[in-house]
Structure 1
Amino acid sequence: MTTATVSREHPWTEGELAELAHLKSLNEQLPEDSPRALLSVRLSILTDDTTSPVRQELDLWRKANDDRVRVVGVARDLNVSATKVPPWKRRELGKWLNDRSPEFDVLMFWKLDRFVRRILDLQVIINWCQEYGKNLKSLHDPIDLSSTIGKTIVSLIAGMAEIEAANTGIRVASVWQHAKTQETWIIGRPPYGYATEKDKGEKVRLVIAPVGHRVLRWAYRAAMRGVSASKMAKILNRAGIPGSNGGKWTSTTLLLQLRNPAIKGLRVEVAGRSGRKRSQEVLDAKGNPIQVADPILTREEFDELQDALDRASRTNETPWTAGATKFLGVIVCRNCKTNYTVRTSTSRGVRYKYLRCRVCGGKGADPQGLYAALVDAVLEELGDHAIEYREYARGAEMRDQLRQLEASIKYYMEGLAPGGRFDRGEFVKETAEETLQSLLKQMDDIDPESAKDRWVLVHGGRTYRQQWEAGGMEGMSHDLIRAGIKFEVGYNESNELEADLLIPEDVRERLVIRADAFKTGF
C-alpha cells in the first residue's frame, strides 16, 4: 500500500497526517478480496485551498472506506493542467494507467474537472476502462460506467468542464496579448541577460543581469573578431558559466541569444520553433518597437553582430540539417554525452557531410561508416533475440471458475461429513469422494496468477534482425532509443575513431513492444 508523502509545495499538518494514518488503518482492515482502488489527486495551481491536494486525498480516503474498497496507491500530479495533459501522460497517474493497471479495479478522483477537462480525453478513458475492466468513481459527481445513463452524465459534465477550460484559455491569452504591449513586465520569463525587480511604484520591470550582460557583451566582441559560436560555447563551458537554460552552452543556444532582438531591451515574441531568428520585435499601435529595459547591445551593435554572424555562416548555410542525422539520441560523444549530428560543409566547391559532436567538435566521422558499425554491433548483440509483445490478460473468467470450484468442493466436503447427504452407502460415498478428488485436482492445476489481471509476454514469431531488416535503420533507431542503448564515439591518443556499444542490463524488458492503449485516433 502506498504511504503518504509530505509535499514540499503543499505540506501536511500534524493533524492531517494523524487523520490520514487513522483512515489508512481502517482501510487496511478491509477484506483482501475487496475491490482495489487507485486515488488520483490533481491540481493545476497550488493556491486553491478549497480543492487543495491534501483535502482531495483525505476526502478520497474517506470515500474509499465508505465504499469498502482497498486503496492500493495514490497518484499525485500537482501543477499539472488537465486541459493540456491527459491522464495517461501525467507523471504519476500515467505510470499506473500504462504499466500498473492490473493492480487496481477502480479509479477514484475528487471531481471530474480534477481528472479531465476535454471530452475527447474522457472518451478515451471510458473506452480504456471498458476494455480493461475498470470503473471510475468521483466524490462529487454521479459517475458509474456500468450503466448507460452514467456514461451520459459523465460526457455532459466533461462538456461543461471543457467550456470552462476554454473560457480560462481565452482569459489567459488576453493577459498575454495585453502584457506584450506594456513597458512594464507583467508576465513571462525574462530574456537571457535580464532579470525582474520592482521599482519604487511596485511595478515589475526588467533590469540587466550582470552575468548575462558580461556573457553577451563578450560574445559580441568575439563574433566581431570572427570567433565561431561553437568555439565561444566551449570557452563559456570551460569557464563554468551556466547556459541560458541552466545547462551547458552549445553553438545553437548561444546563437539563439545573439540573434534575439530582446538584447536591445525590446519586447519580443516567439515567431517559430526553428530557424536562426525565432524571436521578433513586438510593435506598438504606431508601429514602433516597445522598449522595456536598457539595451545590452545598441541597435548599431546588434545590426553589426547580425552581419558578422551571417558572414560566418555563408559557407555553411545549413550546418545542422533537420532530420538528416540517423540514430539521433543513440550516437553520442564519449566525453560530454552530447548527440553526434550531421554537418554539411562546402570545401572548394564540393559539399560533403560528416558526423561530429556539437560541443566538443573534433574531426568529423563518415556518417555511413559510423552507421554501418553501429548496425553491425547491434545485430551481433541483439539480432537473434525474439520479439516480445506485452498483452493485458484478465483473470475474471478464471476467478469465476475458482469460485465455482470452491463452492463445489465445499458442497461435497459437507456432504461427506458424518451424517451428510453422501454418508449413506459405500457406492454413494465412494462416488462423492472420487468427484471431490477430481475437483481438488482441478483446483491444484490452476495457476493462481491466471486468476489475476496481469501483463503477459507473447512472442511475435520473428527476431529483431528480421524486424530491423524489414523496417530499416529508422525502425532500429526507434527501438534503440526506447531501450536506452548508446553508441559512444571518441578518439584515442592516435586520433583514431573508436566506438563502444552500451546496452542496459534490462534491455530485454525495455525492448518489449507495448501497444498504445490510449490512441485517440484524432
Structure 2
Amino acid sequence: MSPKKVRTCVLYVRISLRTDESVSIARQIEAGEAYATARGWKVVGIFKDEGVSATHNKPEDRAGWRALLDSSTRFDAVVVWKVDRLARRVIDFLNANESVKAKGAGIVAVEDPIDMTTAQGEAFAIMLAVFGQMESAAMRDRQRAARNYLLRVGRYPGGVPLYGYRSVPNPDGAGYLLVHDEERIGYVREMVRRTLAGLSIYSTMQWLEEVGAPTSKGSEKWRYATVERIIRHPLLAGMVPHNPGNTTSKVRGDDVVRDEDGLPVVDESLAIMPVSQWRAMQAKLAEPSRAQRTPVALRRKNSGLLSGLMWCAEHAEPVRMWRASLGTKDRPRLAYQCRECHQSFSTPDDLVIAEFLTQRGDVLHLNMVEEVVEGGSVQLQEASVRLAELGREVVNATPERAVEIVAEMTRLKEVQEEARHQPPQVQYVPVGGETRTFAEDWEAAQTDEERRLILGHALDRVLVRRGRQGDKGDALRLARLTFDWLPAGQVSEPSDAELAAWGATVTG
C-alpha cells in the first residue's frame, strides 16, 4: 500500500488535568503545528477535550472528538501528540481509527513513530497501542499500591484536606500526616450532632453562619452543598476516599481505600464517629421524604410547633388536623381543625408542652439511638456493602477487571463466613453523644425546628376528641386529649440489663 497523499490535517489534543503543564493543550498544539509545517501540511482545524480522562472516556464519548468526526471540513490526516492522547485501550484506538478511515483520513502522532496512512504504520500503531494499554494498567496498579502503602503507614496521600482536618509534616519520616484541625473540628462535630439529632442540612448551614464559623475557602457565606459534602464524607468515620478518577459523567468515584480483604481501612485517630453510625447517617440523608432533600421548604418560618402531631379521633381512622386561625379579625386565635368534621382545638401548644415535660421530662433522650457494632458485625456489614458494589460493577467490567472482581468477592465471602461466628455488641448512645434528659434538651433548644424534633422523638401523636360545650378549663381540655407516647422516647426500648450496661459506659 503506497502512502496516502496528505495535504491537509486537523489537530486533536486532550488532557485529563488542566494543571498538567508537561502535556498542556498549548504545548500539544504547538508540537502538532510544527509537525504539520515540517511535512508541508496545512492545518484546517483544531479539536480539544480538556479535563477528560482517556481511561474512563471512550473517544466517541468526548465532545471534542465527536466534533472532529462530525466536522464538514475535509482533511487527510488527524495529528495527535501521542497515541495515549487519543486512547488508552486497544479497542478504543481501533474504533477511533476506523471512524477516521471512514472519512478518508489517517492518524499520525508527533511523538510516536506511527503513520496510519500506510499498512506498515497501521500495524505498528496497533502494537504500540497494546503496549500503551499494558503500561496504563501497570501505572494504575502502581498508583493504587503506593496510595494504599501510604495509608497503611499512616501517611497522607495528598489532596485538599476535608474541612476540620489539616496535613502536617510527618515527625517520624518523609511525607505528611492528616490530623484534626483543632480550630475547626468542633464545628464538624456539631454538624454531625445536629444531623444525628434529625436537624436539616439547611438549618445547620444557618447555624454555621449565625455562630460565625469560618468557611473552607474564606467566602462570606456557607453553601448548602458544602455542608452536605462534609457530613457525607467517609473521613468522619476514619475512612479515606479512594478517588479512582472521573467517570463518564465527570463525577469523582465514591469508593474508599480497602485492605486485602476488601474491607475499609479505618484510621481511628481521624474518626469522630463509628463506621456503622456513619452509614446509618448516610441512609437517613438519602431518604426521599427527609427534609434534607428539600431545603427550600425548610425556609418557611410559620410551621406550627405541633404540626403533624394533632389528629382528630372522631373517625374510624384518625384524621390529621391542620392549623387554622379562628376567632375574630381583631382577636384571632391559633387552633388545629379537622377538615372532615370541622372539630377544632384552640391554642394547644402550652397544654401539650406541659404534659410532655410532665410525662417525659426526666426520661433520657435516646430517640436517635444507633446500633454501634464491633468485631465480626462490622466486618459482616462492610463485606455486604462491598459485595453489593462489586455486583453492580461487574456488569460493565472488562474481562481483566471481572477476574479481579471475582477474586475479591471470593475473599469477601470468606470474611462474611468468619464474621457470622462473632457475636455483635450493641450500645445505646444518647442524641449527639451527650447524656441529657428530654427536659434538658427542651431547655437548650433555640428554634422551633429543634423543639419539633424533640417532641417527635417522644410523641407519636395527640388524639383529639370533642368536648362538651363550655369546657374551658385546662383539666377539661386536657381530658379531650390522648397522648400516644413512643416507648421511653426510643426507637426500641432496651432491656434493664442493656440500660445498666449503657449507664456504666456513659458514667465510666
**Normalised by the size of structure 1, how large is the TM-score?**
0.42
More strand by share: 1
**Normalised by the size of structure 2, how large is the TM-score?**
0.43
